[in-house]
């Protein structure tokens, strides 16, 4: 096996260590939007991501479980209001994920 091929396989091995929480397209999209703003509510994310209500709730719960997103619930009048924001951990994880993916894609495209 050539040295180049071995290096390519080692590079591809990095695929196994990528963050699977962020790797899911819907969650990546949610995190990307949350990283672009300070905070946003459920309706805003629903419109921007075009996900269904159930889907968005599910992925937000996953992100909250991983401490990548913070969910604050409060009442405005009689209505519950949910504000969402990306946590510092989430921001770091997103940055790391993008860096890893970019490196992987670049190495695949180059080889």
Which residues contribute to the site for another protein (CB under 8 A)? Answer: 28, 32-33, 35-48, 53, 76, 79-83, 98, 105
CA 104 to chain CA centroid, nearest Å: 17
Residues 6+ apart with CB under 8 A from 87: 67, 68, 69, 70
Angle at 77 between CA 71 and CA 81, to 5 degrees: 15
Minimum CB separation from another protein for residue 16, in Å?
Answer: 20
CB-nearer residue toward another protein: 8 or 46: 46
Q: How far is the CB of 4 from another protein (least distance, A)?
A: 24
Instruction: Tell me how far, at minimum, the Cβ of 87 lies from another protein, in Å.
Output: 15
- Residue 35 vs 100, nearer CB to another protein: 35
Sign of CA dihedral 5, 6, 7, 12: positive
Q: Which is nearer to another protein, 5 or 103 (CB)?
A: 103
Instruction: Give min distance, CB of 28 to another protein, in A.
Output: 8
45 vs 63, which CB is nearer to another protein? 45
Contacts of 48 (CB under 8 A, 6+ apart): 33, 40
């Amino acid at each position: 096996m050539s040295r180049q091929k071995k290096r390519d396989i080692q590079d591809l091995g990095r695929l196994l260590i990528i963050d699977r929480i962020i790797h899911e397209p819907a969650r990546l999209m949610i995190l990307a939007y949350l990283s672009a703003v300070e905070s946003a509510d459920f309706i805003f994310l629903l419109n921007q991501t075009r996900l269904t209500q159930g889907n968005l709730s599910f992925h937000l719960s996953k992100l909250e479980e991983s401490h990548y997103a913070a969910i604050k619930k409060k009442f405005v009048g009689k209505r519950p209001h949910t504000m969402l924001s990306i946590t510092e951990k989430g921001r770091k994880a997103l940055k790391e994920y993008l860096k890893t993916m970019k490196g992987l894609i670049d190495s695949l495209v180059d080889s």
